[in-house]
Amino acid sequence: MGKLILVRHGQTQMNVEGIFFGKLDPNLNEVGKEQCKKTKELLKNRYKYDHIYSSDLKRASETAQIVNFLNLPIQLDERLEEIDFGIFEGLSYKEILEKYPKEAKKSQDEWQTFDFVTGESLGSLQKRAINFVESLNKEKDNLVVTHWGVINCILSWYFSNELESYWKYNVENGGICIIEFADNFPILKGLNIG
């Protein structure tokens, strides 16, 4: 029985400012680095891992470097990147409403299928996230450092119908989620630990 240990990256200044950012690539701020140090201690006291993977975006790869207490080689994978918000990237919600009111309304009303203009849809994000998870050896313990959207897509896929429960999880920066696979059957063992 293997574990999928999902860790959300630490805080960035864009998180603090409420900016929409998926493909934008900020570093961790000081609070984010402290969150990662606490996450490392939690992991060290509770979990082992055979492999460590990370999104190749800086906020995730920096988090992976900090939490990697076993000093294993970190395997970067672009399938673990956050959703591409397209024309919303770099804007606050208020700015999006002012600049793109039609698209903002559509993104709320049709959130499961909305394709962010010049970006991607949640369905596309979920497809690549699940493609990544299904490529893993689920009999091993895999530590995966990634983003809020990716984690919620994975949880929603395994514990509801595709995107049905996407908005029902609240994983904080530096938070840990644990899925155990018993004969390929997913069991949620921890949500937002830390």
Using CA atoms, how far apart are residues 116 and 104, in angstroms rounded to an integer? 10
Using CA atoms, how far apart are residues 44 and 164, in angstroms rounded to an integer? 33
Helix-strand-coil percent breakdown of the chain, rounded to 5?
A: 40, 20, 40
Looking at residue 121, what DSSP letter applies?
Answer: B
Give, in degrees to the nearest 5, the angle at Cα 38 between 34 and 42.
165
**Catalytically annotated residues:** 9, 82
Contacts of 45 (CB under 8 A, 6+ apart): none
Residue type, 70: L
73: its two tokens: 């080689």
Evaluate whether 63 touches 28 at the Cβ level (below 8 Å): yes
